[in-house]
Structure 1
Amino acid sequence: MAVQCLLQSREGEEPRQILISQGALLPLAKMMLPNKVSVNGSTATTLSGPPYIFVSTPACVQRCLSSGVLQAKSIHDYLSIIILDKADLIFTYGYEKNLKDLKTHIPKRCQCLLMAATSSDDVESLKKLYLHNPYILTLAEVGDGKDEIVPKNIQCSYRDKLLYILAILKLDLVQKKFGIKSAVLNAELPVN
């Protein structure tokens, strides 16, 4: 079984590869493909067999196929799931031709997931191109969250300030639980 995740830009590749590796039950062979694909020993060895999970942009996959780094037969024989992340934006990055060219290498049995925040003409085009019998999952809006977010202010002495900051960071309350950027202000720093 192989999974291919196509992204609209290269910025999302590394975080998704880390997330996929952490959630995998088996150790995965992973590599970052540079913008200019060159076949060296390690690249050829890693991609010689069927890939388990391949995260890339459509243009990079197309370049890998045309240069022989990635084998079309390997994709056709082993690909079982393809994920088009941010499908509503993927055409705006200029990948329409790449996606149409890649469609010829994807087997009919392959399950395709389109993930989009909005429904647009681009998503409809991708549905017609990649999906056979689509099921559309529309998530209900869960408010704007303004009522749920409450700013917290802790009045403490100068000596206790670092202790509070350390406790918040060690408990992972700031970054991992809420996923928001935060700032710690103190008397030594200007507010602006």
Structure 2
Amino acid sequence: MSDNQFAALGLADPLLRAVADTGYTSPTPIQQKAIPLVLQGGDLLAAAQTGTGKTAGFTLPLLQRLADRSCKRAGHPRALVLTPTRELAAQVEEAVRIYGKYLPLRSMVMFGGVGFNPQAAQLRKPVDILVATPGRLLDHVAQKTLNLSDVEILVLDEADRMLDMGFIHDIRKVLALLPAKRQNLLFSATFSDDIKALADRLLDNPGLVEVARRNTASEQVAQRVHLVDRDKKTDLLTHLIKEGNWFQVLVFTRTKHGANRLAEKLTKSGIAAAAIHGNKSQGARTRALADFKSSALQVLVATDIAARGLDIDQLPHVVNFELPNVAEDYVHRIGRTGRAGHTGEAVSLVCVDEFKFLKDIEKLIRQPIEQFTIPGFEADLSVKPEPIPMGGGNRQPRAPHGRGNGQGHTQPRQAKAGPNATQRKPQANSTAARTNKPRKPAPRQG
């Protein structure tokens, strides 16, 4: 690495040493733009997809701004990073430890699905940087194991996903617990109207950083579509993996049940596969991700929410076993590959039920997706489209209320999949929407 490239951003020697240890040679565009702004102490509004280096873009300057002294009060963190999912929280806190290895700062990660008491025990010691999902964070506040009155820096990471998952109520509760004078950093994949509204409330004359155009697919990703009958998708996927000798394949399904079923079928066909979604225990999810990163697991089958925040270097293959019903999620999915200068491939297996979804995606990314055909797996285009049942891993924009479990609970939309499909409106939890009752103190699952 040329240390001077990072040194030119104003980073101190202990951080430059830690960056050098990771082997990174030069800052990414988001790091070049965000780090100096954060070091100046002002608020920041940044638009960046995952895979752009945004985590280091805020963890490095955050560490430097806290490095002058360490926390002395137990359970009173000086910096708070909020993330929508458990996996992302764990990865952010890992980055804090990696980059802060030569600084006398302590960090911890907090989310549901694991024991409450061990986290409470950690909070009985001083913690400088806390990375958390909103629900479990508020549980600790309710149990008085955590006090947020000393927070100097707040980071909302993947804020757009937090809003999509219905966390706006929890975010507002957290904001009410923080001191009025603090530095705020908001990172989002897109600048939607909701994000702009949140930024207007949260940020004070922020610096603005945008490193990727909204809703664009990475130029490093080769996108292809294979039209196939719905009952031949599993056989086609098995064929592609075996014939292409694919390893580290991330496969997306719409539902948790579908992810489980597909992982079981792939395993039976001799392909090491596992499913990852919100119903899996945190231990199972952590093991599956570790096995996948080490290539002990050939295929990871995931729902959209479970895959958000997965940080896997040089991931070569993403497969949309089922297209998402929200076109923007396609961009997030294929953004798992083609990262940090590496090339990747995104293959979508599309049946007649999903033609509307494909049309919406091509309209969003403003380009047709190349089609290809494997002999023996040609689609019968005369088949009548069937309605697509939704559930499990889908999201709907602006869910009425989040449960605070690190994964979100929404009523998915029933999309029109064909001429005879029906559309069902999402059912809002009217009680939750009308009231803002105090939470029960029992720990939640995220």
Q: Deviations over 1:49-85 (max 9, x none)?
A: 54211111122211110111212xxx212x1111101
Residue from 202, 208, 211 that aligns with 1:139: 211
Displacement of 1:6 in angstroms is 0.5
For 1:60 and 1:138, the matched residues in 2 are separated by 31
Residue from 168, 171, 181 that aligns with 2:315: 181
Name the residue aligned to 1:23.
99
- Larger CA deviation: 49-58 vs 97-106: 49-58
- Larger CA deviation: 51-60 vs 120-129: 120-129
Pair 132,180 (structure 1): closer, same or farther in 2 beyond 3 Å = same
Aligned alpha-carbon RMSD (Å): 3.0
SS at match of 1:91: helix
For 1:101 and 1:143, the matched residues in 2 are separated by 35
Name the residue aligned to 2:63.
none
SS at match of 1:90: helix
Contact 2:110/2:133, CA 8 A, preserved across alignment:
no
Residue from 179, 185, 192 that aligns with 1:120: 192
Pair 182,46 (structure 1): closer, same or farther in 2 beyond 3 Å = same
TM-score by length of 1: 0.65
Residue 48 of structure 1 aligns with an amino acid whose one-letter code is: R
For 2:145 and 2:114, the matched residues in 1 are separated by 8
Name the residue aligned to 1:61.
137
Query: Which structure features the higher share of strand residues?
Result: 2
The 5 Å alignment of 1:93-112 reads 93-112=165-184
Contact 2:106/2:126, CA 8 A, preserved across alignment:
no
For 1:86 and 1:20, the matched residues in 2 are separated by 17
For 2:82 and 2:127, the matched residues in 1 are separated by 14
Instruction: State the number of aligned residues.
Output: 149
Q: Deviations over 1:103-137 (max 9, x none)?
A: 11111221111111111122122213311222222
Pair 143,5 (structure 1): closer, same or farther in 2 beyond 3 Å = same
Contact 2:83/2:158, CA 8 A, preserved across alignment:
yes
SS at match of 2:80: strand
Name the residue aligned to 1:76.
149
Name the residue aligned to 1:35.
112
For 1:116 and 1:132, the matched residues in 2 are separated by 17
Displacement of 1:46 in angstroms is 2.3
For 1:119 and 1:104, the matched residues in 2 are separated by 24
Residue 76 of structure 1 aligns with an amino acid whose one-letter code is: S
Name the residue aligned to 1:90.
162
Gaps of 5+ in 1: 148-177, 184-192
Pair 132,21 (structure 1): closer, same or farther in 2 beyond 3 Å = same
For 1:32 and 1:93, the matched residues in 2 are separated by 20
Gaps of 5+ in 2: 1-65, 67-77, 222-311, 318-446
SS at match of 1:14: helix
For 1:136 and 1:57, the matched residues in 2 are separated by 25
Contact 2:93/2:131, CA 8 A, preserved across alignment:
yes
